[in-house]
A and B are shown apart, each in its own frame.
Chain A
Amino acid sequence: MTAAGIIAFAVKGDGAGALAAMTRGCENAITITFELAGPYLLWSGLMRTADEAGLVDKLARAMRKPLSRLMPDAPQAAAPVTLNLAANFFGLGNAATPFGLEAMRKLDRCDGRASDSMAMFIALNSSAIELLPTSVIAIRTACGSAAPYSIVVPTFLASAAAAAAAVVSCRLLGRIVK
């Protein structure tokens, strides 16, 4: 992807622009890591506390059955997967990411390949099911909408369709792509 971008810059004869864009990309990575750091430390700490109190285990046991249909080889990741999807659902993106990373760690088989369960988890995340899309509602209000919430129901239904498509396409593609 980077190479394609650089070639496109070269075609336009804009070398300085290419370098500036690449540098900006790395700067974005630093910014995002720092933005992520605070919530990540907080939720990792709370997660460990919940773990030692036995709560994570309880949640995992409750969710193992329903989740095993989607991610059959991943009973060990049931708790963080549930917490990630729940945090996303309630619009807590900050809290969702630490749980998501924890889930990926639990799903990892250390072979550098994505498992079916990992792909399913990522695809489900991409369907963005959310109770209230808060950032969109905020922008609509700022832009003078008379009914900023009017998009909530269609957004929810579209997300649900996306989630269904995620499950189906993961199942089908997972069989083809080894």
Chain B
Amino acid sequence: MRAAEIAIPCGAALLLLYALVKKVNVYKAFVDGAKDALPQLVSILPYLAAMLTAIETVRASGLTDLLVRVLRAPAERAGLEPELIPLIVLRPFSGSGSLALLREILTQHGADSGIGRAASVLVGSTETVFYTVALYFGSVGVTKTRHAIPASLIAGAVGAAVGILLVRIM
């Protein structure tokens, strides 16, 4: 980790020096770039607000809990630990929420238990899909997202399944 921590600032320094050698007006270029970023940030905000309102309402209303309860029986029949189901359901919606849930599972079952390791791999190999979609598509005003969400969820499901299986055999 040490090496990575120092590599990025050094890279930035090298970049600035290289730009100086190339006779770029570094200060002006940086300011121009940052200026571009501002309206971009403002334009993202309403999309994020809409998506996060939806996510928070669904989560707080207990709909995700309902989904967990519906999924429990078939998942258990497939041999999945019931403790992992809430994590799988929550993961695409909330990054901080699934990290908190991971901490809970690790404290309860032990970080090196089978469930603890499976939960860790699950969180590490998947992404908060709905947040990414809202942010990236929102930034360019795309509302017809076509197959982006289903494809992302399929990728997440495959990642989760492979992760859980790998933990069992490794």
A residues with CB within 8 A of B:
1-2, 4-6, 8-9, 12, 17-18, 20-22, 24-26, 28-30, 32-33, 36-37, 40-42, 44-55, 90-92, 95, 97-98, 100-101, 104-105, 107-108, 112-114, 118-119, 121-123, 125-128, 130, 132-136, 139-140, 142-148, 150-151, 153-159, 161-166, 169-170, 173-174, 176-178
Contacts and interface: CB of A to CB of B under 8 A. Distances in A.
A25 B155 contact: no
B111 A126 contact: no
A33 B137 CA distance: 15
Interface string B88-104: 00000000000100110
A114 B146 contact: yes
Contacts of A32: 48, 52
Contact of A162 (B26, B34, B60, B159): B159
Q: On chain B, which size bracket covers the interface? A: 35 or more
Contact of B144 (A26, A114, A151): A114
7 contacts: A32-B52, A98-B37, A100-B136, A112-B144, A114-B142, A114-B148, A173-B150
Contacts, number: 321
Given A101-B40, A135-B99, A140-B111, 20 more contacts: A4-B61, A12-B61, A12-B62, A17-B60, A37-B41, A42-B34, A45-B30, A52-B22, A53-B15, A53-B24, A112-B142, A112-B144, A123-B148, A128-B127, A151-B121, A154-B167, A162-B126, A162-B162, A166-B154, A174-B147
A125 B8 contact: no
Nearest to B38: A41
B151 A30 contact: no
- Max chain B Cβ within 10 angstroms of own Cβ: one of A25, A47, A91, A97: A25
